[in-house]
Amino acid sequence: MIVNLAITTVALLAGVILPLHWGISGFLGTAALLFTLQTGINFAGGFAGSSIEESLLLFNGSWLSYLGFNLQITYRAFALPLLALAIPFIFRFARARA
């Protein structure tokens, strides 16, 4: 929960300070960077706060299954950070074009 709040705050700040001349590629790059950052934090945090070794036991020692699980968790939780990134960026972009 705290990780999602922190990523959402960073996304909101990025939406406010992202240079407009980067356009869509800058927006997509920033979104991909934030998604990767959130996945990395979820991956390093372990399953339900346990260590990575204990988490891997739940996934039969498969790093790939554990990574896939964390990608799925991040995908489901990424709607709010993406919205926080998009709203100020689109607002600023629309005002600059008008």
Q: Is residue 21 part of a domain?
A: no
Cβ-defined contacts of 87-91 (< 8 Å, 24+): 87/15, 88/12, 88/15, 88/16, 89/15, 89/18, 89/27
The answer to the question of residue 45 being in a domain is yes
Region of residue 20 (phi > 0: left; psi between -120 and 50: alpha; otherwise: beta): alpha
Better pLDDT: 14 or 97: 14
pLDDT for the residue numbered 18: 94
| Among 1-5, 11-15, 24-28, 85-89, the least confident range | 1-5
DSSP-derived letter for residue 18 is: S
Give the containing element (helix H, strand E) for 1: none
Residue 17 belongs to a domain: no
Model pLDDT, residue 92? 94
- Paired tokens of 85: 């990134």
Total length of the chain: 98
Q: pLDDT confidence of 20, banded at 50, 70, 90?
A: very high
How many domains are there within the chain? 1
Q: Is the pLDDT of residue 98 over 80?
A: no
Among 82, 95, 73, 98, CA closest to 14: 82
Domain of residue 63: give its range: 2-12+39-97
pLDDT in tens, 32-90: 999 999 999 989 988 888 888 898 898 999 999 999 999 999 999 999 999 999 999 99
Please give the pLDDT value at position 67.
Answer: 94
Tokens 């990608």, located at residue: 71
